[in-house]
Amino acid sequence: SSIFRAGISGARPRVPVDPARLAKAARRALSTEAYAYLAGGAGSERTQAANRRAFERWQVWPRPLRDVSVRDLSTTLLGRRLPSPLILAPLGVMELAHPEADLAVARAAASAGVPAVLSGQASFPMEESAAAAPGAPRMFQLYWSASDELNESLVRRAEACGCSAIVVTLDTHLLGWRTRDLDLGYLPFTRGLGIAQYTSDPVFQRLVDERARDSAPAEAPPVRLTPRTVAAGITIARKGRRLTGGGLRESLRSPLPRAAVETFLDVFSTPALTWERLARIRSWTSLPVILKGIVHPDDAERTVAEGYDGVWVSNHGGRQIDRSVPTLDVLPEVAARVSGRVPVIVDSGVRSGADVAVALALGADLVALGRPYAYGLAVAGEPGVAAVIRNVLAELDITLGLSGHTAVSELGPASLRRAD
Ligand code: FNR
């Protein structure tokens, strides 16, 4: 109701409430390259369109005259109570959106009690995100690197800085064919952006040293990455008024420790990953492990059968395969197969509180938000992310009440009607 009251007071919000206007505001705030990286998808972006179409196929079926004066958005995840079923999907390279990047996201998530999933491709080391929001619920997302020693190190650091689960992303063993970025000749990582989890890691430091030793003349000084370093160039860019406009271009010119970037590109992921190799994670941590990027019921079945702790239905927001299956379409089948044995999380195309309600009704236990909070971050930093979270939760609450439910747990297939 505070959001309504703010609206009634006549004040225009800095962060647009409407999802399309929010995206436009972000586009205005960002450089061409930064916006393309955030907004873009694979190929002709049919998967992104299909993700949205899948939502359009469902309508909420209102049932009035039920007492909905008290409503409960809370839920549980892996034994922990959460104030709502919303979580923030891991988004890498958030320095493209705002200089405070992951730190702003961590703080905004913490103030809403919403778990943040710290990206493996973050702009700040996970320890700094943890320190920015002490005690807040957080998880760590791992891209399975070619070096298992590095994977182990990242997982152990996540456990040490208070992450309650490891999310392994399985749909990015090859980088998607991202046409906007290709046409702009732009890949953040080659500029040393979004590699802070690596440059702050002792195993990665050793891999960089080895690489530099192998390829540089003997008298060349070793590349020294301090734990604080993302890369030299980015620090320069952060000093500018904003990284997102001219600042981004500034960072493109900045000198970077080449060996670090090259090492990152060598190890960042591996197409050789299999179920057998994935199981090694169990010897590195006792934390719950959630698999992200599951879209087939058989893979969901195997996730449960192999003892993993959560199924995250995702097509990476349409960034990996053009013409991939929309997640909302496969969600009911996946949820039926999982049958409550582990939590099911869904993302890709969620833009509003009504979308969250539909995803919950179709079998998700939790719903993850991606691009919209990056847009909030681009428009207004930490308060921008907070506004986006608040708006989604307010609309979810209203949708719940107007459709005749008093708790998110009551949402089910009977809450919906399929559009003709
Ligand atoms: C992502 N995504 C992602 N996923 C992941 O596991 N690790 C990561 O580092 C990133 N990075 C990332 C950057 C950007 C700019 C985007 C847009 C997405 C995928 C993300 O977690 C999530 O699956 C999608 O964003 C969900 O789709 P929507 O909500 O963006 O449509």
* Residues contacting residue 116 through CB under 8 Å, at least 6 positions apart: 87, 88, 105, 106, 109, 110, 129, 133, 136, 137, 138, 139
Any ligand 1 atom below 6 A from CB of 347? yes
Could you read off the pLDDT of 177-190 as tens digits, one per residue?
Answer: 999 999 999 999 88
Q: What's the complex ipTM? A: 1.00
Residue-wise pLDDT for 8-27, tens only, equals 778 899 999 999 999 999 99
| Nearest-angstrom CA–CA distance, 415 and 59 | 9
> 3-state class of 273 per DSSP?
coil
Can you tell me the distance from the alpha carbon of 321 to that of 305, in angstroms, rounded to the nearest whole number?
Answer: 27
Using alpha carbons only, give the angle 359, 363, 369 rounded to the nearest 5 degrees: 35
Instruction: Judge contact between 365 and 29, C-beta under 8 A.
Output: no
Quote the CA–CA distance of 170 and 274 in Å, as a whole number. Answer: 10
Residue 419's identity, in one-letter code, is A
pLDDT in tens, 79-133: 999 999 999 999 999 999 999 999 999 999 999 999 999 999 999 999 999 999 9
CA distances from 157 to 37, 127, 270, 339 (A): 28, 8, 21, 32
326 lines ligand 1 (CB under 6 A): no
65 CA → ligand 1 middle, Å: 40
Q: What is the pLDDT of residue 218?
A: 56
- Domain range summary for the chain, segments of one domain joined by +: 2-60+74-315+366-384
C-alpha 73 – ligand 1 centre gap (Å): 24
Q: Are strands 80-82 and 75-77 parallel, antiparallel or unpaired?
A: antiparallel
* pLDDT computed for residue 252 by the predictor: 39
Ligand 1 atom 15, closest CA: 38
Encode pLDDT of 219-259 as tens digits.
555 555 543 334 433 433 333 333 433 333 334 334 456 78
Query: What's the topology of domain 2-60+74-315+366-384?
Result: TIM Barrel (3.20.20)
Ligand 1, pocket-test mutation among 197, 352, 371, 385, most atoms within 8 A of CB? 371
- Using a 6 Å cutoff on CB, does residue 169 contact ligand 1? yes
pLDDT at res. 258: 77
d(CA 91, ligand 1 centre) in Å = 5
Range 56-65 average pLDDT: 98
Check pLDDT > 50 for residue 374.
yes
- Residue 326 to residue 45: CA distance in whole angstroms: 12
Report the distance separating Cα 342 and Cα 300, nearest Å.
10
